[in-house]
Every structure is written in structure tokens, then in C-alpha cells.
Amino acid sequence: MELTTSIMMYENGEINEVNDVLELFSALIKTGLAWKLQGFFGRTARHLIDINAIAEDGTIIYEELPF
């Protein structure tokens, strides 16, 4: 799925599966878009990094969020 489509689906609440959210934010971090889009995306990406769900380079560490 195209990244732009995934972002719009996420914003519309159409992406709810944990793995899909992790994949989206992994791609946003890897491309650097997490830090260029609305602040929400950067804050969420930073949170996922801080809880060790995604590494600084965008690699998914957990298959499911640890909460």
C-alpha cells in the first residue's frame, strides 16, 4: 500500500491493527517523514521509539506493542 494512502487511512481511523500501525510508523521513520509531517506523527514515532517498539532507524523491534 502506498505510504500516502496509509497515512490518510490512519488519520481516518481505518488502520487499527497493531502490526499495521507499527509498519506505518516504521516507514515514516525510515523515510524521515515522521519528522516532517504534523507534530502528532513525530510525537507518536518518538513514543514508539522510547517504548522500544521501533528502533531509531525504523526497524520494528516488537511484533506487538508492549501494552
53 touches 65 (CB < 8 A): yes
Q: Supply 61's cell numbers.
A: 523491534
CB-based contacts of 54: which residues, under 8 Å, 6+ apart?
22, 25, 26, 29, 45, 48, 60, 61
Q: What is the per-residue pLDDT for 5?
A: 95
- Structural domain including 62 reads 17-67
45 touches 29 (CB < 8 A): yes
Q: Supply 38's cell numbers.
A: 504534523
Tell me how many domains the chain contains: 1
58 touches 26 (CB < 8 A): yes
Looking at the predicted structure, is the pLDDT value of residue 66 above 60? Answer: no
> Is 10 contained in some domain?
no
> Is 8 contained in some domain?
no
Tens digits of residue pLDDT in 17-41: 888 999 999 999 999 999 999 999 9
> Is 47 contained in some domain?
yes
> Is 48 contained in some domain?
yes
> Is 12 contained in some domain?
no
- The chain-wide mean pLDDT, for the chain, equals 91
